Chain A
Amino acid sequence: MPAEKLKQNYSSQEKEHIFEHEFLPHIDSMYNFAYRLTFDEDDAKDLVQETYLKAFRFLNSFQQGTNAKAWLFRILKNSFINDFRKKSKQPPKVDYQEVETFYNSDNVDVSMTTDLRVETVQHMIGDEVSNALNALAVDFRTVIILCDLEGFTYEEMSKILDIPIGTVRSRLHRARNLLKEKLQAYAKSMGYNK
Chain B
Amino acid sequence: MATNLFSWIKQNLFGQISCQRCIELLELITDGEASLEEEQQFRKHIDECLPCYETFNLEKSIKEMLQTKLEKKQVPDDLIQSIKKKIRNTA
Q: Which residues of A contact B (CB under 8 A)?
A: 12, 19, 24, 27-28, 31-32, 35, 41, 44-45, 48-49, 52-53, 56-57, 108, 110, 112, 114, 116-118, 121-122, 124-126, 129-130, 133, 144, 147-149, 153-154, 169, 172-173, 176, 179-180, 183
Contact = CB atoms under 8 A, between A and B. Distances in A.
Nearest to B55: A112
Interface string B41-83: 0000000000000110111011101110111110110011011
Nearest to B24: A108
B86 A49 contact: yes
B67 A148 contact: yes
A144 B73 contact: no
A55 B29 CA distance: 34
A18 to B, nearest CB: 12
A114 B20 CA distance: 17
Contacts of A45: 76, 79
Contacts of A28: 72, 75
Given A49-B83, A121-B62, A122-B65, A108 B27 contact: no
B91 interface: yes
Tell which of A35, A57, A110, A117 has the most Cβ of chain B within 10 Å: A110
A148 B79 CA distance: 26
B65 A121 contact: yes
Contact of B31 (A32, A147, A179): A147
A27 B61 contact: no
B87 A148 contact: no
A48 B63 contact: no
Given A27-B75, A110-B20, A126 B69 contact: yes
Contacts of B61: 118, 121-122
Contacts of A53: 83, 86-87, 90
Contact of A149 (B59, B70, B82): B70
Contact of A154 (B24, B31, B75): B31
Contacts of B79: 27, 31, 45, 48-49
For the complex of A and B, the 5 pairs showing the least CB-CB separation, nearest first, are A148-B66, A126-B69, A121-B61, A31-B75, A118-B61
Contact of A124 (B55, B69, B75): B69
B9 interface: no
A27 B73 contact: no
B90 A12 contact: no
B70 A56 contact: no
